[in-house]
Amino acid sequence: MIRGLIGLVALCLAAVLALAAVPKVDSAIRVFKETQTDPAKLKAYCDMHKALDAAQDDDEAFKKAENAGLKQLGPDFENAWKTYKEFDENSPDIKSMDDALEELHNKCPE
């Protein structure tokens, strides 16, 4: 009896957490898409991405570049970035955020 109740509570909690994640994911995707249409933010994102690539082997430099880029991109982008980073790479939600970031990245000049 108690196992069944614990299982039901766990299932309900999982459902609530999944529903709570969806608006965060949708918001992150919206911010990534909006960044594509703002020339200043697009440039800031592309600059951040280049700096992150250059600092890939240096954790401290990577974190500095990430923080500087996120500060320049603003709080909405920073929250979207944090949402993206908090999801497991096997999560179905990560795929849609990956797609939005890939689309954003493709807007950067080579």
pLDDT tens track for 33-85: 999 999 999 999 999 999 999 999 999 999 999 999 999 999 999 999 999 99
Please state, rounded to an integer, the average pLDDT across all residues of the chain. 84
Question: Of 29, 65, 31, 71, whose CA–CA distance to 48 is shortest?
Answer: 65
Residue 25: is its pLDDT beyond 90? yes
Q: Mind giving me the DSSP string for 22-91?
A: HHHHHHHHHHHHHHHH-HHHHHHHHHHHHHHHHTTT-HHHHHHHHHHHHHHH-HHHHHHHHHHHHS-TT-
Report the pLDDT value the prediction gives residue 8, as an integer from 0 to 100. Answer: 43
pTM given for the model: 0.77
Structure tokens at 25: 């994911």
